[in-house]
Amino acid sequence: MKALPLIRVGWLVLAAMVCAHTAWAQTVAAILAPVDRAMALAEASLREGELQIAESRYRAAAFDAWMTAGALHVAAGRLPDARDAFRQASGTVADPRAAYRSLAVVQMQTGETPAAVALLMRLSAGAPDDLPTRRLLAQALTANDQLA
């Protein structure tokens, strides 16, 4: 179960960031609820001996944890940390497009627009019907003065 350590790291990062503010206790529970549910499903699959299903569910939980951590970093203005979280998220699931799109947004915000364009071009080439990626690519090309 390689995904389990990622879950713990994502969980700890998220908990440390949010729990620093005790007034957010109810918000923390709401933010972490999807990760909690995903973990519960993974653990149930593990108890039932469904190892492949458990691994898939742990990976989904890790993805949710890293994406949430990335979003919280963005909200706090910690864009390098957000970039790292979205990169981690991209390695946890079979379809990392959402993580890559989030990474591309952060890259554009930090002046790494050429890297965002390259990433979105690869994504778009692999899934030409992915409209959110194509829209984001158009924005990145415009920001990079490649689309008039």
* Inter-CA distances, 68 with 44, 74, 83, 86, 114, Å: 23, 10, 12, 9, 25
Measured CA to CA, the distance from residue 86 to residue 63 in angstroms comes to 9
The number of beta carbons lying within 10 Å of the beta carbon of residue 147 is: 12
- Asked whether the predicted pLDDT for residue 67 surpasses 60, the reply is yes
pLDDT number for residue 122: 95
Name the pTM for this structure: 0.77
**Number of residues that make up the chain:** 148
In this prediction, what percent of the chain has a pLDDT beyond 70? 80
**What is the per-residue pLDDT for 27?**
75
Q: How far is CA 59 from each of CA 22, 107, 125, rounded to the nearest angstrom?
A: 29, 24, 25
Q: What is the pLDDT of residue 2?
A: 47
Query: 103-147 pLDDT, tens per residue?
Result: 999 999 999 999 999 999 999 999 989 999 999 999 999 988 876
Can you tell me the mean pLDDT for 96-108?
95
